[in-house]
Structure 1
Amino acid sequence: MKLSIILFFCCCLASSVVYAQDSVGHHDLAARDGLRQREVSSSSAASSSSNTVASSRSSITSNFKSSTSASVSATDASSIASGIGSAIGSVSTTGSASTSSATISVDPRSPPGGVSMLTPALTASETYIKVGDYATFSWTYTSLIVSPSAVNVEAYCSLNNYYYPIADNLTINDTQAVWNTSGYQATATIPLLVAQYTLHIYDAASNPTAVASPGYLSAYNNLYFGVYTPQPYTPLNNYQCATCSSASYSLVERNVLRGTLAMTLIACIFTVVFMMR
């Protein structure tokens, strides 16, 4: 009887132990399943959050780029409109786009630009130009800062106070002028006179007697030359001396002159001999 009770308690104890192990195993499985579900949910949440963060970053980046480009464009537009940000050393312009003009600053201590003659040279004693020939004038510019848009070359005659045109509207690179006196004289309303002339080289926008500002072209008027008209050929027998007082003496006039000289000489000799006695 006692043995049966002991066996019964042993069976009950064994069954309770087995039940406890089964419940613990089920509890462990449930815990593991819960942990797996939590890991899966957490990973999905993490991926979704990372996707959200990436999308937010891309949107922020795109917004930043668009705002930056817009601000840069606005800055460039404002810089262009205000003149700020232009290239260093560029010439400043004034006026509208269609009528812009460059501004050149000249030191007021600079001398005016000048002309140095090459042909004919100033060292030549006298220069004469025959009407009908081609006369060549060449020169160089000195101390010129502001180049004139056009240059005129003229010959001034003081007898009629007229400026005879030689070349008009020359560029700054044209430093030579050829004067066709024959062509001019054939069609001129005011013909060339036999006289002395003064060569003038000056800015076409100014006048031959204007005073130039520093750096600008000063009018040149230091070359003097003569202009003459050749005379037609005249045979020697028909030549008449325009500066002689009279024509040649006749034969009678020459004989009278010789007799007068002879009588004067004889009278001088007798006078000297008489005084020596």
Structure 2
Amino acid sequence: MRPGAGSGTIIGGPGIPVGPNSIIDPRRPVSRLSMIQPKQNSINPPLFPVGSNIVFEWVFDNATLVFPPGNLTIEVALTANPKMVWPVANVSGTATSTSWSTGSAAPSLFMGFYTLSIYDTKIGKQGVAASGHLMPYSDLQFGMYIPEQYVPRTGAFCNNCKDGTNGATSAFSLRTSQVLQSVIMGLSIFIAIWGLAL
């Protein structure tokens, strides 16, 4: 239809006011958001300890977002098994960040890779966004690990430690951290392969 024919204004570019009878140009693209933090990295995904607070921050593409969402749903799912989902927050459609306290979800979290999803609550996680609307986002993957418990160090076996620390325990803690990182990567690869096989 032509503009002014009783059908409202056809929106073809950014900056044009949206009225109750506005019609979006179907040739316009859907809008996407981009993560600021954590930064997306498919080769070395960011890692966080279970129990920490993770801040998610993003930006909208205002050049393509004609119809901002009313509300956003943020959640994470186990990458290898997307049916295992943990809610993070439900915020205003204008929000650009949220914080997830993983400590509250700690009993059910374990080492592995997770996928972050942010989507227009009205459209849904698997919904198809129309021109000018926000497309569901699920591109960020990050790893989570269970930190080792603190072991008090003593000087019982340390001949050269002036501060009373146990050199053997310190070396053990360092090796444990290195092994833990290797276990996380190995477990994540196993989970990913296992998920593809299902």
For this structure pair, what is the TM-score category when the shorter chain's length is used for normalisation? 0.5 to 0.7
How many angstroms does 1:120 deviate by?
1.3
Letter in 1 for 2:52: D
Structure with greater strand share of residues: 2
In structure 2, the CA distance between the partners of 1:91 and 1:123, relative to structure 1 (3 Å rule), is: closer
Letter in 1 for 2:31: G
Residue of structure 1 equivalent to 2:13: none
In structure 2, the CA distance between the partners of 1:90 and 1:233, relative to structure 1 (3 Å rule), is: closer
* Match for residue 48 of structure 2 among 125, 129, 145: 129
Q: Secondary structure at the match of 1:182?
A: coil
How many angstroms does 1:156 deviate by?
1.2
* Structure with more contact order per residue of length (Cα contacts < 8 Å, sep ≥ 6): 2
How many angstroms does 1:111 deviate by?
0.6
Residue of structure 1 equivalent to 2:38: 120
Residue of structure 1 equivalent to 2:65: 144
Give unmatched runs, 5+ long, in structure 2.
Answer: 1-5, 7-15, 154-167, 180-198
Alignment of 1:83-98 (within 5 A): none
Residue of structure 1 equivalent to 2:184: none
- Rg: which structure is higher? 1
How many angstroms does 1:209 deviate by?
2.2
* Match for residue 132 of structure 2 among 215, 227, 238: 215
Give unmatched runs, 5+ long, in structure 1.
Answer: 1-82, 84-88, 93-101, 244-277
2-side partners of 1:212 and 1:155: how far apart? 20
Residue of structure 2 equivalent to 1:154: 75
Aligned length: 140
2-side partners of 1:133 and 1:91: how far apart? 42
Structure with greater helix share of residues: 1
2:89 matches 1:167:
yes
TM-score by length of 1: 0.45
2-side partners of 1:192 and 1:103: how far apart? 47
2-side partners of 1:127 and 1:225: how far apart? 5
1-side partners of 2:94 and 2:70: how far apart? 11
2-side partners of 1:225 and 1:90: how far apart? 39
2-side partners of 1:224 and 1:123: how far apart? 8
